[in-house]
């Protein structure tokens, strides 16, 4: 039975421990809505993991309350866990997002063979009722079209979530942040502001996307040969600017790289990317064209070794090879962790001898997230009673909180919280509630599993020291060793017969001694073999491979 006057609960299940896997639950009594359903890409210390999802058990446990899911924009850190959530729900719920976001979501869902979902397009300015929640969508500027913020009215008060944003006065598609709506909501009263913290440590304003266009045009116009532009395939505004520059100087655009091909198709179909049919050509049709008539739009801006850019740089692409007469623009910035991969492609391109432009020597990229002045402007416009920085690492959330304090928001009205923490709102007042279970789940091949530190630790150990298997058959009567088979993988001494011979001797005497002492105890023998072999290998090689002893009585 529902309690009388329940609080509004705001529960971030992801997004507060790093930039990725954004997901926030809003719950009021028997009603619940979900704000974003993102994923994160694994770290170096999560070997073999394909994807990292927020643990959304809380959503499943309260599935009966779920009135709708809305997605603020189409980046994977906001959409990527949607297929998994939908597969785990036992009933259909409506999914609200902009046309562009739904276009990208649809593609992802199709890959997971989810074709029968309830996708509902919403436009900026539109109001949607989801149970007890009234949700108003408003346009924001970001590095993808169709990004929106939301204003949520509930019986206990209001929440404004900016979504990912910068404040771009000259966006490429002309769709500015809806300042009018934001100020209208502010006038009505925003009890809690959730605002993007990604660039909270950067002073000043983030430059407009339009500033990049002039620089791209200049480079493309003056390049003597072909121009290759690597960028994020979802950054449709950037791609639009590349296409505009190419068309304006009479160059054709070639698109290559799997996600670049698929995203430009979706964006053109939905009307977000505008280039005349005759100006965009297939990579196989490029042969007839003079070099100075070609711009190639490609993937690889993050240094991915199998990307189109890497393959074209290394002569491994089916139809295009970069030469010393070409110009390459890396129109992106490395996501933290990708720095070495990007540097490696730049080194390959340097060896080819082409001209290279990137952030270090030309204005070919600006961030999609607002810097400190934009965050402060947002705080000033919204003038919220309470504030919780979201979308960032610990350092970003705290820097954003400091900005809010500098602007006069009382420290006890600012909540720097973790995933799973609960904010409770009653009568326009916010306080910390009881946390819920949260964490991450790993997608590893087809399996989805809770974080199992043992598996990851084993994998890291395997990757450092390799593995040695030792199979011993023992006589069932005497328990003495008969045959011993020692082999290894990922070890540097696999061919050292003297060392392996010594290991055999050690194992044999260990088994025989164990037989005398413990007799018929296979478990004890196995442990003794593992210890003896581990010590022997340490003494000889100063490495500790993982040892798998198998003892079989015959």
Between 173 and 421, CB nearer to a second copy: 421
Distance CA 64, CA 504 (A): 61
Query: Of the residues 31, 173, 196, 326, which is catalytic?
Result: 196
Has 235 been labeled as part of a binding site?
Answer: yes
Q: Which stretches of 23-75 are assigned E, i.e. beta strand?
A: 23-28, 31-35, 51-54, 66-70
Query: Of the residues 237, 317, 369, 479, which is catalytic?
Result: 369
| Bridge partners, 66 (sequence order) | 32
Q: How far is the CB of 324 from a second copy (least distance, A)?
A: 11
Q: How far is the CB of 88 from a second copy (least distance, A)?
A: 18
Interacting residues of 63 by C-beta distance below 8 A, sequence separation 6+ = 89, 90, 91
Has 367 been labeled as part of a binding site?
Answer: yes
Between 518 and 522, CB nearer to a second copy: 522
318: Cα separation from own chain's centroid: 29
One symbol per residue from 195 to 214: x for binding a second copy (CB under 8 A), - otherwise; what is it? ------x-------------
Choose, by CB under 8 A, the member of 180, 350, 509, 531 that binds a second copy: 350
Q: Which stretches of 29-71 are assigned E, i.e. beta strand?
A: 31-35, 51-54, 66-70
Looking from the CA of 19 toward its CB, the CA atoms found within 13 Å total: 15
Has 229 been labeled as part of a binding site?
Answer: no
Choose, by CB under 8 A, the member of 196, 393, 421, 424 that binds a second copy: 393
Distance CA 261, CA 326 (A): 22
Residues 29-48 that bind a second copy (CB under 8 A): 43-44, 47-48
Q: Confirm or reject binding of residue 540 to a second copy (CB under 8 A).
A: yes
Choose, by CB under 8 A, the member of 125, 224, 271, 337 that binds a second copy: 337
DSSP 166: B
Q: How far is the CB of 376 from a second copy (least distance, A)?
A: 17
Q: Confirm or reject binding of residue 552 to a second copy (CB under 8 A).
A: yes
Q: Confirm or reject binding of residue 348 to a second copy (CB under 8 A).
A: yes
Has 400 been labeled as part of a binding site?
Answer: no
Distance CA 44, CA 167 (A): 34
Distance CA 100, CA 106 (A): 10
Between 2 and 395, CB nearer to a second copy: 395
Closest CA to 389 of 75, 19, 6: 19
Q: How far is the CB of 46 from a second copy (least distance, A)?
A: 10
Q: Confirm or reject binding of residue 351 to a second copy (CB under 8 A).
A: yes
190: Cα separation from own chain's centroid: 30
Catalytic annotation present for 178: no
Q: Confirm or reject binding of residue 524 to a second copy (CB under 8 A).
A: no
* DSSP letter string, 402-453: HHHHHTT--GGGB----TT--EEEETTEEEE-------EEEEETTEEEE--H
Has 120 been labeled as part of a binding site?
Answer: no
Instruction: Judge contact between 66 and 92, C-beta under 8 A.
Output: no
* DSSP letter string, 352-392: HT-EEE-TTTS-----SS--HHHHHHHHHHH--SEEEEESB
Query: How many residues would you count in the chain?
Result: 554
Catalytic annotation present for 369: yes
Sheet holding 192-196, edge to edge: 127-130, 133-139, 148-154, 157-161, 192-196, 386-390
One symbol per residue from 444 to 483: x for binding a second copy (CB under 8 A), - otherwise; what is it? xxxx-x--x--xx-xxx-xxxxxx-x-x-x---------x
Q: Confirm or reject binding of residue 183 to a second copy (CB under 8 A).
A: no
Has 218 been labeled as part of a binding site?
Answer: no
Between 179 and 538, CB nearer to a second copy: 538
Instruction: Judge contact between 159 and 10, C-beta under 8 A.
Output: yes
Size of the site for a second copy (CB under 8 A): 65
Active site (catalytic) residues: 196, 369
Q: Please report, in range form, the residues annotated as the binding site for Zn(2+).
A: 73, 75, 77-78, 142, 164, 391
Q: Which residue numbers belong to the known binding site? A: 48, 50, 73, 75, 77-78, 142, 164, 233-235, 365-369, 391, 444
Applying CB under 8 A, the residues found at the interface with a second copy are 43-44, 47-48, 201, 336-337, 339-340, 343, 346-351, 353, 356, 360-361, 393-395, 397-399, 442, 444-447, 449, 452, 455-456, 458-460, 462-467, 469, 471, 473, 483, 485, 487, 489-494, 540-543, 546, 548, 550, 552, 554
């Amino acid at each position: 039975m529902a309690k009388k006057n329940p609080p509004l609960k705001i529960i971030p299940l992801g997004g507060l421990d790093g930039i990725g896997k954004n997901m926030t639950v809003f719950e009021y009594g028997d009603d619940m809505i979900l704000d974003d359903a993102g994923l994160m890409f694994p770290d170096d210390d999560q070997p073999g993991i394909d994807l990292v999802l927020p643990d959304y058990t809380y959503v499943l446990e309260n599935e009966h309350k779920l009135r709708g899911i809305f997605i603020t924009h189409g980046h994977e850190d906001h959409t990527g866990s949607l297929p998994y959530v939908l597969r785990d729900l036992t009933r259909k719920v409506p999914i609200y997002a902009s046309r562009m976001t739904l276009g990208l979501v649809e593609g992802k869902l199709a890959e997971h063979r989810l074709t029968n979902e309830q996708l509902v397009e919403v436009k900026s300015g539109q109001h949607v009722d989801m149970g007890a929640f009234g949700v108003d969508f408003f346009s924001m500027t970001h590095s993808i079209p169709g990004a929106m913020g939301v204003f949520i009215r509930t019986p206990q008060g209001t929440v404004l979530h900016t979504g990912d944003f910068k404040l771009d006065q000259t966006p490429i598609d002309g769709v500015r942040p809806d300042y009018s709506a934001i100020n209208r909501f502010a006038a009505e009263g925003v009890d809690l502001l959730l605002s993007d913290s990604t660039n909270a440590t950067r002073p000043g304003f983030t430059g407009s996307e339009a500033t990049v266009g002039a620089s791209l045009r200049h480079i493309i116009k003056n390049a003597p040969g072909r121009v290759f532009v690597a960028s994020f395939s979802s950054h449709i505004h950037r791609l639009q600017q590349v296409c505009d520059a190419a068309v304006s100087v009479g160059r054709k655009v070639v698109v290559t790289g799997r996600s670049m091909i698929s995203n430009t198709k979706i964006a053109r179909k939905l009307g977000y990317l505008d280039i005349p049919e005759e100006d965009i050509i297939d990579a196989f049709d490029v042969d007839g064209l003079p070099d100075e008539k070609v711009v190639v739009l490609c993937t690889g801006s993050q240094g991915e070794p199998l990307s189109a850019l890497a393959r074209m740089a290394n002569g491994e692409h089916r139809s295009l090879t970069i030469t010393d007469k070409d110009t390459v623009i890396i129109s992106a910035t490395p996501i933290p962790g990708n720095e070495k991969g990007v540097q490696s492609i730049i080194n390959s391109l340097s060896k080819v001898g082409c001209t290279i432009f990137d952030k270090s020597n030309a204005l070919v990229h600006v961030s999609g997230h607002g810097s400190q002045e934009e965050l402060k402007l947002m705080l000033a416009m919204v003038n919220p009673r309470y504030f919780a920085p979201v979308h960032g690492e610990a350092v970003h959330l705290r820097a954003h909180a400091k900005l809010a304090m500098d602007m006069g928001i009382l420290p006890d009205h600012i909540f720097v919280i973790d995933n799973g923490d609960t904010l409770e709102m009653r009568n326009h007042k916010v306080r910390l509630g009881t946390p819920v279970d949260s964490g991450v789940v790993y997608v590893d091949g087809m399996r989805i599993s809770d974080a199992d530190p043992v598996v990851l630790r084993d994998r890291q150990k395997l990757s450092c020291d390799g593995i040695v298997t030792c199979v011993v058959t023992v006589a069932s009567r005497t328990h003495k060793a008969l045959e011993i088979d020692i082999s290894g993988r990922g070890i540097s001494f696999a061919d050292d017969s003297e060392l392996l011979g010594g290991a055999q001797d050690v194992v044999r005497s260990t088994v025989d001694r164990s037989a005398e002492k413990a007799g018929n105890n296979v478990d004890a023998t196995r442990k003794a073999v593992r210890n003896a072999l581990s010590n022997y290998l340490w003494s000889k090689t100063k490495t500790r491979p993982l040892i798998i002893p198998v003892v079989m009585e015959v």
